[in-house]
Amino acid sequence: MERHFYWVRLGDVPQWLIETPTRGTGEAFDEPWMFADGRVLEEPGRMKALISTPGKRRAFVFSVIEQTPVVSHAIANVFRALAPDDVQLFPVSIAGESERSFVVNATKVVDAIDEARCREVHHYEEDDPAPGYEGEYNWIYGLRIAPTKTEGAQVFRLKKFKTAFIVSEDIKNALEGVGNLGVSFERVTGAPEPH
């Protein structure tokens, strides 16, 4: 039976918006996008994040610029239990909140994009204003991946399209079991969904 995977994205639900986490001093990290880069990171030390737009507190959100996954303790426990080898969990304090939150850093990158089955792909061009991204995907509509190429990972980023935060169906179901999510799940395996 084919394993299904899902692209976790910011959901279209009322929710608060969180700024990209910084050091505890408020100083930005040298690489603020590092939590979306799919690599093992050194312990970043004490971190904090500000609320950029107040709203309904959600158990799983993405920061507004770098799309850093920020989750509650209960959601962190899902990743800790089901994907301990695929993620790092770093505590982060959110301004004005007493409950500790966590940044979820997916540490694996897999080369699993099935470009032929994607609805529409856009590559960065050589003369694109984003140097260093040549050959990578600028955006993909109707993303499809090959489950046989996921190397057993439950949570990962995609080679040449690290924007996508991908989870297995088991993770998706467990996250939905916790509830109060500020994210949605787009299936990226199986037959393309009609649009």
In angstroms, the first-to-last Cα distance of the chain is 25
Distance CA 113, CA 108 (A): 14
Report which of 63, 94, 60, 61 is spatially closest to residue 77, judged by C-alpha positions: 60
Per-residue confidence (pLDDT) for residue 153, from 0 to 100: 96
Residue 24: partners with Cβ closer than 8 Å, 6 or more residues away: 45, 46, 47, 48, 93
Classify residue 132 by its DSSP letter: T
Per-residue confidence (pLDDT) for residue 192, from 0 to 100: 72
Instruction: Look at the block and give the residue holding tokens 């470009």.
Output: 115
Instruction: Look at the block and give the residue holding tokens 């916790």.
Output: 178
One-letter identity of residue 82: L
Cα distances from 8 to residues 27, 60, 72, 98, 181, in angstroms, run 28, 10, 16, 26, 11
Per-residue confidence (pLDDT) for residue 127, from 0 to 100: 66
Give SS3 for 18.
strand
Report which of 89, 107, 106, 108 is spatially closest to residue 47, judged by C-alpha positions: 89
Hey, how many other C-beta atoms are within 10 angstroms of the C-beta on 8? 23
- What's the average pLDDT block by block, 10 residues per block, for the chain (195 residues)? 88 96 95 94 96 96 94 98 98 94 97 94 73 78 95 95 96 98 96 67
Per-residue confidence (pLDDT) for residue 132, from 0 to 100: 65
Residue 175 contacts residue 167 (beta carbons within 8 Å): yes
One-letter identity of residue 32: P
Per-residue confidence (pLDDT) for residue 128, from 0 to 100: 63
Report which of 106, 159, 165, 105 is spatially closest to residue 137, judged by C-alpha positions: 159
Catalogue the long-range contacts made by 176-180 (C-beta closer than 8 Å, 24 or more residues apart): 178/59, 178/72, 178/74, 178/75, 178/78, 179/59, 180/57, 180/58, 180/59, 180/72
